[in-house]
Amino acid sequence: MSTIRFLRTFVAVAEHGSFAAAAGQVALTQAAVSLQMRSLEEELRRVLFDRSGRVAVLNADGRELLPQARRMLSLYDDMRLPLVASEAMAGAVAVGAVVSVMGGLSHAVARMKRAYPALDVRLVGAKSIELAAQVEQGTLDAAFLVEGTARPAGSLRWTPLYQEPLVALAARGAPGASAREALAANPFLRFDRTQRTGMLVERALRRSHLRVNEFLELNSIEALVELVRQEVGVTVVPLLKRARWREDESLRILPLQAGGEPLTRTVGMLERRDHGRDHVTGAIRQACATLFGP
């Protein structure tokens, strides 16, 4: 099956832009990647790369081969599944999720596992930026994450699932009747600005022309909420689906708006178009959509 190995390496080179970058993804040396690509070109009897010194980029023949290679790899991966109906819930998939989705996703997958014992799902928790990179690299088949500002690569598919409004959270006894007043009168507990949710919060503050009194910056929504409960300050976070903050007598939820419109973050699924487990990831996506609601 050397051709299959060569095609995997070829796709890695195409997706990562160089022999050196692809080498780390397929556990080979750069020299081995180069040798495999020479062998693949000899087998297919056509040159796939324009080579100039240390740089090699796909030429027209290489670009034409890429979707064919992905389809062949997907078909080969399906052939390696247990001998069951092609659409059966079986085989291995790796799915990632941000913290706010992981609890619901775990319950949904546990129910699916009881119904389909041959299904093998590996769940990975991480930040949205990290998950997006893992999906693009092929480490994950799909991931539930916060929508970014950049368009996904052509090899990826984005499906929005639901939106969460951004709100200010204040302790019951904290000063300020509105979000604007509470943010002006209390120390501000900020979500990590290097993450997508933190970027959305910063954009919301600017659009709403809200001034804050910077105090602490954390990368955990639950940690921020707990500090609000302890009257350390106020925060701006998405109103998480399935969170019970409205029932928490120690918290006040204050809406945020810009130009009369609510400010929101979108959560959805990012997946590879060629991972060959569409029926499995589609079922997981539908289960989460039902669980979290529109």
Q: Please state the domain extents for the chain.
A: 2-79, 91-159+267-292, 163-265
pLDDT for res 83: 45
Fold matches, 91-159+267-292 and 163-265: yes
Query: Looking at residues 204-212, what average pLDDT do you find?
Result: 91
Q: What's the count of helices (H) and strands (E) in the chain, helices before strands?
A: 10, 13
Phi-psi category of residue 231: left, alpha or beta, with phi > 0 → left and psi -120 to 50 → alpha: left
Q: Which residue has the higher pLDDT, 82 or 218?
A: 218
pLDDT for res 266: 95
Q: Is 58 helix (H, G, I), strand (E, B) or coil?
A: strand
Greatest mean pLDDT range, 63-67, 155-159, 229-233: 229-233
pLDDT for res 3: 82
Domain topology for 163-265: D-Maltodextrin-Binding Protein; domain 2 (3.40.190)
Q: What is the largest CA-CA distance in the chain?
A: 75
Per-residue pLDDT tens over the stretch 37-62:
999 999 999 999 888 766 678 899 99
Nearest to 184 by CA among 193, 171, 194, 175: 175
Query: Looking at residues 258-269, what average pLDDT do you find?
Result: 84
Residue carrying the six token digits 């913290």: 99
Per-residue pLDDT tens over the stretch 148-192:
888 888 889 999 999 999 999 999 999 999 999 999 999 999 999
Superfamily of chain region 91-159+267-292: Periplasmic binding protein-like II (3.40.190.10)
Query: Looking at residues 2-18, what average pLDDT do you find?
Result: 84
Q: Tell me how many degrees the CA angle 114-119-123 measures, rounded to the nearest 5.
A: 95
pLDDT tier at 32, thresholds 50, 70, 90: confident
pLDDT for res 269: 96
pLDDT tier at 86, thresholds 50, 70, 90: very low
Q: Which residue has the higher pLDDT, 92 or 239?
A: 239
Nearest to 240 by CA among 209, 264, 205: 264
Domain topology for 2-79: Arc Repressor Mutant, subunit A (1.10.10)
Identify the bridge partners of residue 187 per DSSP, sorted by sequence position: 213
Q: Which residue has the higher pLDDT, 56 or 220?
A: 220
pLDDT for res 248: 92
